[in-house]
Amino acid sequence: MKIAVALSAAALALPAPALAGEAFLGAYAHAVDLHVAIDYSDETGAQIVGGYRTDPVAALHLIGRPRLYVLGAANTAGGIDYAAAGLSWRFDLGRRFYVEPGIGGAIHSGDVNFPSPFDPGLSAAEQARRLNHVRNDLDLGSRVLFEPELSLGWRATERLAFEASWIHLSHAQLAGRQNPGLDDVGVRAVYRFGP
């Protein structure tokens, strides 16, 4: 979360013309079982997600003028927090609606690489503690993860929009076989500022 705050502060320090873009804030159901990730019941609470998206970046026209985004997510029950940054592409569906897929990278506050409960020489108490940790806590397998997301937006006014949004965290088994993934689904308000 500290990284998301630092990135947001850096974005706000940019010259005024660079501030054209959108700020968003929303609430998400956390660790939702969409059959894309492994369901972990001990990850509870809601995620509060806030962030910033630029206008389309003309310099990136070869890849469709994506928007740059940064976001931070804080868990209300002490679960996993994360920060992400990436690129998103907006496709209009008429005047009022749009779809916006994105792909980025994320870091998270959860534990990774739990110690094995089957290491030789463990006491029964330590083995039981490690087994409980493995069974009940989420090990995402890597501190750094991919962060694909998808939003469906509705423009209420010229400045205000609302989005239904899905955020996924995973390393696609590039960091090893331990890859349960994590899905958050929610809604967010989007405010457009600048010219």
Q: What is the pLDDT of residues 125-139, one digit of tens each?
A: 888 887 776 666 778
The pTM score is 0.82
Residue 8 lies in a domain: no
Residue 32 lies in a domain: yes
What pLDDT, on a 0 to 100 scale, did the predictor assign at position 62? 97
Residue 74 lies in a domain: yes
Distance CA 178, CA 189 (A): 34
Least confident of 46-55, 73-82, 168-177: 168-177
Computed over every residue of the chain, the mean pLDDT equals: 86
Mean per-residue pLDDT, 45-49: 95
SS3 17: helix
Residue 151 pLDDT > 80? yes
Is the pLDDT higher at 66 or at 12? 66
Residue 117, class by beta-carbon neighbours within 10 Å (0-12 exposed, 13-18 middle, 19+ buried)? middle
Asked if 71 contacts 4 with a C-beta cutoff of 8 angstroms, the reply is: yes
Is the pLDDT higher at 140 or at 86? 86
Residue 5 lies in a domain: no
> Which segments of 8-159 are extended strands (E)?
21-29, 46-54, 67-75, 82-88, 91-93, 97-108, 144-155
For the chain, percent of residues with pLDDT exceeding 70: 85
Residue 29 lies in a domain: yes
The range of the structural domain enclosing residue 129 comes to: 21-193
Distance CA 89, CA 92 (A): 10
What pLDDT, on a 0 to 100 scale, did the predictor assign at position 40? 58
What pLDDT, on a 0 to 100 scale, did the predictor assign at position 58? 94
In the chain, the number of structural domains is 1
Q: How confident is the model at residue 157 (pLDDT cuts 50, 70, 90)?
A: very high
Residue 57 lies in a domain: yes
CATH of the domain at 188: 2.40.160.20
